[in-house]
Every structure is written in structure tokens, then in C-alpha cells.
A and B are shown apart, each in its own frame.
Chain A
Amino acid sequence: MRAIEKNIALCHVCHELVHLPSERENRYALCPRCGEEVHMRIPKSMQHTWALVLASIIFYVPANLLPMMHVHTFAGTQSDTIMSGVLYFLETGSYLIAAVIFIASIVVPITKLLILIYLLISVRNNKPVHQKKRKKLYVLTEIIGKWSMVDVYVVAIMIALVHFGGLSQIEAGEGANFFLLVVIVTMVAAMRFDPRLIWDLPEKEKQRRENKEKG
């Protein structure tokens, strides 16, 4: 038995079961234990997730094209983008670090966005297939979300350590700002997505299952 059929919703903060009034379309109640607003599903979950996903795709372009940091030395100024940093590590033979940066700042954001887009489309199509696998994909996006921050932190630590006035100095580039926005916006997008939508069946499917149980 699912909670939505019994008009019960879960308080997302304190995990109390709350009975919702059944008559209104956009219904919510206040949790008797912690006072949070409890909705049956996250309101406008699909619209918000789509908007945030599109925003992060837009931010992702300048994040990769603009430099993450500028290295000023007496020999001149050198600017590094994400990909040129990875290539630098590959050339100098630090394959492990190259892999860490490549995974954290290129593989993770793209995977996250692709998974979210797939989930959004599949929820829209509303077919009860691969539900367990889709749920696993969603949990994965939640776990890997914050690990793309590695590249931003690397820039911050380099700025703090290489600070010798005119001799050599590192400054943050414009790409770092956009990359930070990509990370934060995709994290919020994953939070706004309601995984219970994966398991909500269309009316037709519900009737088919009921008939199956009867016959």
C-alpha cells in the first residue's frame, strides 16, 4: 500500500506521517510535530528541476571556455581552463590527479545533468519500467553532487598559497564563478526533484493492476 492512496504524506524534516485534507487540489498541512509545511509531493517539482537543469547547462558553457585561474609570474601571465589543467597533469605524468580532476569537474557534472534530464523525461512519459534502477540513479546524483566542488577548492588553495606580490601570484578566473554556479545549481536541482514521482503510476496502470488482482 502506498501512502498517497491513503492520503498520508511524509514530513521531509522529521519523517512524521501526516494526514492531508483530500478535497483541495494543491493540498498541504502543517506537521503536528515540527511545524513544517507538508505536501503530498514537492510542489512544482518538475518545472523547478527543468528550470535549474537548463540554467546549469547554460552556466556550464562559460565554465569550460573561460579560464579557472590566472597565474602571474615574472615571465608573464598564464591562464588555465579546466581542460588545460587536466592536459597539464597528463603531460607531466600525474595520471591519478589528472583522473581526479577530470572525473570531478567534467564527468560528474555532465553525468548529473544527463541523469536528471533522463529522470525528468521518464517521469513525464510515466511508464512503470526500471523504477528501481531510476531510483538508484537518483540516489547517485544526490551523492556525487558536492564532489565537483574539488576544482573550486583547488583554485582557492592555490590563491592562498601562491601569493608573493609581484613575484608570482594566482588570481581566480571568470570560469571559476560559473563553475561554482554549475555545482550549486545542479545540487539544488537534484534536491527539487521528487523521487516519489518515479513510483507514481498513471491511472490506466493502476486499473490494470487492480483487474489483475481480481481476475
Chain B
Amino acid sequence: MSEHLVCCHECDELVKIENPHREGRFNCPVCGSLIMKHRAGMIEKMFPLSIAALILFAVTNYFPFLSFHVAGNISQANFFTSVLYLFEEHEWLLGTAILMTTLVVPFIRIMLFLLLFGPLYFGHLPRYSIVFLKVLDHSTPWGMLDVFLVGVFVSLVKLVKMGTIIPGTSLWAFMMLVFILAAMQVIYNPHQIWEMISRKQKDAKMVTV
């Protein structure tokens, strides 16, 4: 296959790409948005990155995030503490939103990356890859760890005047995690996996015929 027809998702222009397996990015000639990218070694990079992300996610949630000392009183917080206190105060909406965007969605995304790229790394296309890819696609805007990092910095400045703040192990792990997740988002290219699925579907059809 040396020619490839792509449709721009922003302006609906049909674009013919001469050699789609060339390294690089293809932009729409009409509106200029990115319509296709291809990069070798996507799977080989994504697999170790998702393992690293899972380890860092576990570290982030196990150790205390920040400790706060005021006049002999110490309070420690990790990711789940704020959700817990919000639920105690019956702030269900806020609690659920924070639970979903900072814990559940990022965890599901990391696990799906692992389940998807683990088998791919060893040369198998996982059976439920269509479902994995769909969930990954729909959950992209709802994982908000990067926004949470900015929130942490702002509240640090707010609290510094009230007492002593000691950053915990998990804060460093969390900062690494945000950078790794950003790198994964750049490298991740579902189009390449969709093409693999297409090829597999075609092979299956030929066998049954």
C-alpha cells in the first residue's frame, strides 16, 4: 500500500498521502491541522514508559504527598486524603470529580496503556484492543494530573505563610509522573494500532472465505 486517503477531522478535506509510512507528520493543506503522524519505535517506547508510569503512580499514592506543620500540629496528606475529607463533609460532587480526574481516570489510562503495549511489545495484538483504544480515546481530556500539579504549586505558595511545609517522596514521584505522561501523550499514536487491527481483520476475512 503506497497511497493512503485521509480525511481531516477539523475541516473535512480529503487528503491523499503518497507514502504514509514515511517518518514524520502530515498537515492538512487547507486548514493546517495535524492529520497523520508516523514514527518508528512507538511500541518500543510506549511499553517501558507505561511501566515507569505505573511504578510512579503507585509511589505517588502510597507515600504522603505533603506534610504541614503548624505550631506543633502535623497533618499529612496524600492523594486520597482530600477526597476522603470532602466525602466526610458530604461534598459528593466535588469529591467524585477529584477522585475521577486525579485517581481513577489516570490509573485506568496507565493500565490500558500497559495492557495494550505489553502484548504488542512481544508481537501480539491484544484481543480487546478495540475496546482499549476506544476508552483511551474518550478519556484523554479527563485525566488532569498536569492541572493538579499547577494546583499543588499554587496551594504551596498559599500555605507557606501559615506554617512549615515538607514535600514528601510522593511529590517528586508525582512530578516525574506528569512529565512521563506528557511524553507518552506525544509519542502515542493510535493510528498505527488501528492499521494493525485493519490488517488482522482482513486476514481473518480471507481465512473464512
Contacts and interface: CB of A to CB of B under 8 A. Distances in A.
Contacts of A164: 70, 73, 75
A17 B5 contact: yes
Given A158-B155, A196-B10, 10 more contacts: A2-B12, A10-B7, A135-B11, A150-B154, A154-B151, A154-B158, A155-B94, A159-B82, A176-B94, A191-B141
Given A161-B68, A168-B70, A10 B5 contact: no
A104 B85 CA distance: 25
A4 B7 CA distance: 10
B9 A12 contact: yes
A93 B45 CA distance: 44
A66 interface: no
B27 interface: no
A14 B161 CA distance: 50
Interface of B: 5-7, 9-14, 30-33, 66, 68, 70, 73, 75, 77, 81-83, 85-86, 89, 91, 93-94, 97-98, 101-102, 130, 133-134, 137, 141, 144, 147-148, 150-152, 154-155, 157-159, 161-162, 190-191, 194, 197-198, 201
Contacts of A156: 82-83, 86, 94, 98, 151
Per DSSP, chain A at the interface is: helix
Contact of A2 (B9, B14, B70, B141): B14
20 contacts: A2-B13, A13-B134, A34-B130, A104-B150, A139-B10, A150-B147, A150-B150, A152-B94, A153-B148, A153-B151, A154-B158, A156-B86, A159-B85, A160-B85, A162-B75, A163-B85, A164-B75, A177-B94, A196-B11, A199-B30
B151 to A, nearest CB: 3
A121 interface: no
Interface stretch (A43-51, A111-119, A141-149): A141-149
B77 A157 contact: yes
A15 B9 CA distance: 8
B14 to A, nearest CB: 5
Contacts, number: 178
A198 to B, nearest CB: 7
Contact of B101 (A3, A92, A138, A149): A149
B91 to A, nearest CB: 5
Nearest to B194: A14
Contacts of A17: 5-7
A1 to B, nearest CB: 5
B93 A180 contact: yes
A198 B142 CA distance: 26
A154 B154 CA distance: 7
Interface of A: 1-4, 6, 8-10, 12-17, 33-36, 92, 94, 97, 100-101, 104, 131-132, 135, 138-139, 142, 145-147, 149-164, 167-168, 171-172, 176-177, 180-181, 184, 187, 191, 195-196, 198-200
A149 B144 contact: yes
Given A132-B31, A156-B86, A195 B10 contact: yes
A199 B31 contact: yes
Contact of B75 (A104, A161, A172): A161
A16 B85 contact: no
Contacts of B94: 152, 155-156, 172, 176-177, 180
Interface pairs A-B: 10 shortest CB-CB? A153-B151, A160-B82, A160-B77, A156-B82, A160-B81, A157-B155, A199-B11, A10-B7, A196-B12, A161-B68
